[in-house]
Amino acid sequence: MSDEKRTPSPEEAKQRLLARYPAKVARKRAQQIVINHAIEGGKVPEIMSNARTIPGVITQRGCTYAGCKGVILGPVRDILTITHGPIGCSFYSWLTRRNQTRTQSPDEANYITYALTTDMQEEDIVFGGEKKLKAAIREAYEIFNPKAIALCSTCPVGLIGDDVHSVAREMKAELGINIFAFSCEGYKGVSQSAGHHIANNGVFTHVVGTDDNGKKGKFKINMLGEYNIGGDAFEIERLLEECGITMVASFSGNATYDQFATAHTADLNCIMCHRSINYMAEMMQTKYGIPWIKVNFIGASATAKSLRKIAQYFDDEELKAKVEEVIAREMPEVQKVSAEVKPHTEGKTAMLFVGGSRAHHYQELFEEIGMKAVAAGYEFGHRDDYEGREVLPFIKIDADSRNIEELDVHPDAVAFKPRKTEEQLANLKAGGLSFSEYEGMMRQMQDGSLTIDDISHYETEVLLETYKPDIFCAGIKEKYAVQKSGVPLKQLHSYDYGGPYAGFKGAINFYKDIDRMTSNPIWGHLKAPWQKGPEVPAVYVAA
């Protein structure tokens, strides 16, 4: 592959990407395909994102239900989630996201392996499904005896006007456990992103702050936007524990209901996936006075940096020393493996089209083994995920975004407690720690590389043909089409059932996996010996 490479100019590549589109579609896509270059003042170019997908282009995107039930609620083991709708949505979101969870004892609740649904039938669509939903909640309560039940709405629920929230209130009063509902119908918003926001709002309103008996510890944080795909959270938990940092709550990898309920007792919120969870951090800051910082545990140096940031925030010499000790202990193995794979991976190219943060975070790991991201983009990111949060005041709110509720949050009369004095905050900022900031993906990308929002299958094929990257990162729907084109695809949703990729151990796993995938000799055998060169067919002739 590598020897055939001819890198076209980014302008030429963009032209190719747009060439076949109808004029109106091309005009829109031109604003979502951006050539990266530094602009004076540290700015980056503007990119259109969080915009409607053009029908029929073959998109990677899913729906609001997937973002709410699948992404945010999916990893929580002891909230019993009932999907109110026809059978499919519950079925498809059943165990398919690899959210690992680890209970402390065999008696503890774990509903991860269960899919519960009202399985709406035609008569429910015609006559309404509220009665059925109530009956289903009673049955679920009797069988599982959970401490909380979440109700997730699918498309028809909103259309027929079932009031899931009043059902939740009524059943909460009847059964005496916390029951809350999410209006996460698939058609809301333009992607999964709307579902994240709806889930954040619901969990914040109905669960966070309901229990003051959080975990005790000297350095208490919440980890936000980490979903424990392939055990990532276990590796992060291990590192935090070794540093003596207490994780009160995770949103929501390996999480429990009690973690959410006590999250307000932490002193710092650390955001991994900015897109899916920044709402929660912002609301907790307003209501409880907990500051938030952006962290990233994908990549060994990013992990070290994130641990140092947390130590810097708590400003404790013992913690700082412990963090350095852990980093010093972990890094040699990381460096050893990276040195082993680098001779094979150095100079190779990658493309990343995934998620709302992964396309950014994983560039760190590729850089660590000398690989370059030539094109990247999000499936459901917003402008702030690309350009940084400073563009937030300038983002136009369109009709689709307006449909997603923004909660009106105020400081809590009792529980609001500033974690740092103004002076302390100023000192920390002067020391280089940024609060409530995310710089976005585009700043990390090299001049001349491409950022493409909500990539279509057609554009994927053009990119493969134009750049012939050594590896392409996306999801299951893209996996085999890309591989049939002769390019290995690394799934960054499911990790191809491997991982973890977070933290130091995760970095080692990733280096080895990418080395294996980009060096696999099978790609050299796609053609049979007789298909390879021009050859004159001949037969042996008897002498």
Partner 1 sequence: MFLRHTTTDIKERGTLSINPAKTCQPIGAMYAALGIHGCLPHSHGSQGCCSYHRSTLTRHYKEPVMAGTSSFTEGASVFGGGANLVAAIDNIFTLYSPDVIAVHTTCLSETIGDDVPSFVHQAKMKGSIPEGKYVIHTNTPSYVGSHVTGFANMTKSMVDYFSESTGEARDQINIIPGFVDPADMAEIKRIAAMMEVKIVIFPDTSGVLNAPQTGVHHMYPEGGVTVPQLISTGDSRATLALGQVASAPAGEALNSKCKVPLEILDLPIGLLATDRFINALRTAAGVEVPESVNDERGQLIDIVTDMEQYFHGKRVALAGDPDQLVALTEFLITLGMVPAHIVTGTPGKAFEKKIEEITAKCPVKVNVKAGSDLFLLHQWIKNDQVDLIIGNTYCKYIARDEDIPLIRVGFPIVDRIGHIYSPIVGYKGGIRLLEKILDAILDRQDRDAGEENIELVM
Distance CA 14, CA 179 (A): 50
- Nearest residue to 98 (alpha-carbon basis) of 363, 455, 457, 476: 476
Among positions 3-62, residues that touch partner 1 (CB under 8 A) are 20-22, 25, 52-62
Q: Pick from 43, 165, 458, 513: which binds partner 1 (CB under 8 A)?
A: 458
Q: Pick from 76, 140, 277, 307: which binds partner 1 (CB under 8 A)?
A: 140
Residue 413 or 528 having the CB closest to partner 1: 528
Stretch that binds partner 1, among 3-11, 218-226, 321-329, 396-404 (CB under 8 A): 396-404
Residue with tokens 């995920």: 385
- Nearest residue to 37 (alpha-carbon basis) of 467, 452, 445: 445
Residue 146 or 503 having the CB closest to partner 1: 146
Q: Pick from 44, 65, 303, 311: which binds partner 1 (CB under 8 A)?
A: 65
Tokens of residue 83, six digits: 């999907």
Helix (H, G, I), strand (E, B) or coil at 241: helix
Stretch that binds partner 1, among 292-300, 338-346, 410-418, 473-481 (CB under 8 A): 473-481
DSSP letter for 73, please.
I
| Smallest distance, partner 1 to C-beta of residue 273, A | 19
Q: Are 243 and 311 spatial neighbours (Cβ–Cβ below 8 Å)?
A: yes
Sheet containing 292-294, strands listed edge to edge, beginning at the edge strand earlier in sequence:
246-252, 220-226, 268-271, 292-294
368 touches partner 1 by CB under 8 A:
no
Residue 344 or 457 having the CB closest to partner 1: 457
∠ at Cα 260 (384, 183), nearest 5°? 65
Among positions 476-515, residues that touch partner 1 (CB under 8 A) are 476-477, 479-486
Helix (H, G, I), strand (E, B) or coil at 347: coil
| Smallest distance, partner 1 to C-beta of residue 72, A | 15
89 touches partner 1 by CB under 8 A:
yes
How many other C-beta atoms lie within 10 A of the C-beta of residue 55?
A: 7
Q: Pick from 155, 331, 391, 425: which binds partner 1 (CB under 8 A)?
A: 155
| Smallest distance, partner 1 to C-beta of residue 57, A | 6
Stretch that binds partner 1, among 39-47, 183-191, 385-393, 512-520 (CB under 8 A): 183-191
| Smallest distance, partner 1 to C-beta of residue 262, A | 24
160 touches partner 1 by CB under 8 A:
yes
| Smallest distance, partner 1 to C-beta of residue 90, A | 7
**For the window 398-427, what string marks contact with partner 1 as x by the rule CB under 8 A?**
-xx--x------------------------
| Smallest distance, partner 1 to C-beta of residue 147, A | 13
Phi, psi of 59 (to 5 degrees): -100, 160
Q: Which residue intervals of 81-191 are DSSP H helices?
A: 87-92, 122-127, 130-144, 155-160, 164-175
Q: Pick from 38, 143, 339, 426: which binds partner 1 (CB under 8 A)?
A: 143
Tokens of residue 292, six digits: 């938030």
Residue 530 or 540 having the CB closest to partner 1: 530
| β-strand partners of 149 | 80, 179
Among positions 114-133, residues that touch partner 1 (CB under 8 A) are 114-122, 124-125, 132
Taking the CA atoms of the chain, what radius of gyration do you get in angstroms?
A: 25
Stretch that binds partner 1, among 205-213, 363-371, 423-431, 455-463 (CB under 8 A): 455-463
Phi/psi-derived region of residue 123, left when phi > 0, alpha when psi is between -120 and 50, beta in every other case: alpha
395 touches partner 1 by CB under 8 A:
no
Distance CA 53, CA 60 (A): 10
- Using the Cα atoms of residue 352, residue 505, residue 302 and residue 223 in order, give the sign of their dihedral: positive
Exposure b/e, 231-244, CB count within 10 A at least 16 = b: bbbbbbbebbeebb
111 touches partner 1 by CB under 8 A:
yes
Distance CA 339, CA 17 (A): 36
**For the window 191-220, what string marks contact with partner 1 as x by the rule CB under 8 A?**
x-----------------------------
Q: Indicate which residues carry an active-site annotation.
A: 63, 66, 97, 196
449 touches partner 1 by CB under 8 A:
no
| Smallest distance, partner 1 to C-beta of residue 287, A | 28
Residue 422 vs residues 411, 427, 429: alpha-carbon distances, Å: 17, 9, 11
189 touches partner 1 by CB under 8 A:
yes
| Smallest distance, partner 1 to C-beta of residue 78, A | 11
Q: Are 185 and 153 spatial neighbours (Cβ–Cβ below 8 Å)?
A: yes
| Smallest distance, partner 1 to C-beta of residue 152, A | 12
Residue 23 or 542 having the CB closest to partner 1: 23
DSSP letter for 66, please.
I
324 touches partner 1 by CB under 8 A:
no
Distance CA 316, CA 478 (A): 46
Residue 182 or 313 having the CB closest to partner 1: 182
Distance CA 383, CA 406 (A): 18
429 touches partner 1 by CB under 8 A:
no
| Smallest distance, partner 1 to C-beta of residue 220, A | 30
Q: Which residue intervals of 38-119 are DSSP H helices?
A: 64-65, 87-92
**# binding residues, partner 1 (CB under 8 A):** 88
